[in-house]
């Protein structure tokens, strides 16, 4: 037993085809990196997560989206990239240039790019709740949980639980020493056979047992 094939788009089909692995869906998109087994609950069956749920309007503007392995994205999750924002340094935020017909004349793309907040990074084993929104340039640490409906505007620490608009830390899932040990173990980087042999330790809460797993 070696678990599901991470390159299968709908690993639970035919019983249920609404769960999709994001790495095969991403394909060869140069601005997206997705770890193995991360999935989205695509109950609408649209299969267009990277166009519908990753909001960049016209293009990524030099930024990159990284999704770690073993992440779970609930239905309606949205990730806003820098291209999905408006220039804010002038008196108006209205995007006149996109409508053309003369309104594009004199537009300086640098005014848009000046507000770029950098890459968006979602660490390993992160759970994003139903209809949560991740704003540009945010880093979410491994093992974090984002509550349903939250809007994440700033970085989230590893193994933190955040909720609200804007999302605020509610608690840490484990004490600091345990979090440090979990990050050192980094079970999500193990080969699939080792993961399969040690599922009980991974699902459990005995850090010593996880550290001893071979």
Is the Cβ–Cβ distance between 55 and 84 less than 8 Å? yes
56/32 Cα distance (integer angstroms): 12
56 is catalytic: no
Q: Which of 75, 86, 101, 131 is catalytic?
A: 86
Write out the catalytic residue numbers: 86
């Amino acid at each position: 037993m070696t678990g599901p094939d991470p390159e299968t788009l709908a690993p639970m089909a035919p019983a249920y085809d609404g769960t999709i692995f994001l790495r095969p869906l991403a394909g060869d998109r140069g601005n997206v990196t997705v770890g193995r087994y991360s999935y989205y609950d695509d109950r609408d069956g649209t299969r267009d997560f990277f166009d519908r749920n990753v909001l960049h309007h016209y293009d990524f503007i030099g930024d990159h989206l990284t999704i770690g392995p073993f992440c779970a994205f609930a239905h309606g999750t949205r990730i806003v990239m820098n291209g999905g924002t408006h220039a804010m340094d002038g008196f108006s935020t209205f995007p006149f240039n996109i409508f053309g017909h003369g309104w594009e004349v004199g537009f300086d793309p640098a005014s848009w790019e000046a507000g770029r907040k950098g890459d968006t990074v979602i660490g390993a084993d992160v759970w994003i709740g139903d209809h949560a929104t991740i704003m540009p340039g945010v880093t979410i640490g491994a093992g974090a949980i984002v509550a349903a409906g939250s809007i994440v505007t700033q970085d989230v620490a590893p193994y933190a639980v955040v909720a609200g608009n804007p999302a605020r830390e509610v608690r840490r899932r484990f004490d600091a020493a345990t979090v440090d040990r979990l990050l050192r173990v980094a079970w999500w980087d193990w080969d699939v056979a080792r993961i399969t042999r040690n599922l009980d330790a991974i699902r459990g809460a005995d850090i010593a047992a996880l550290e001893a797993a071979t």
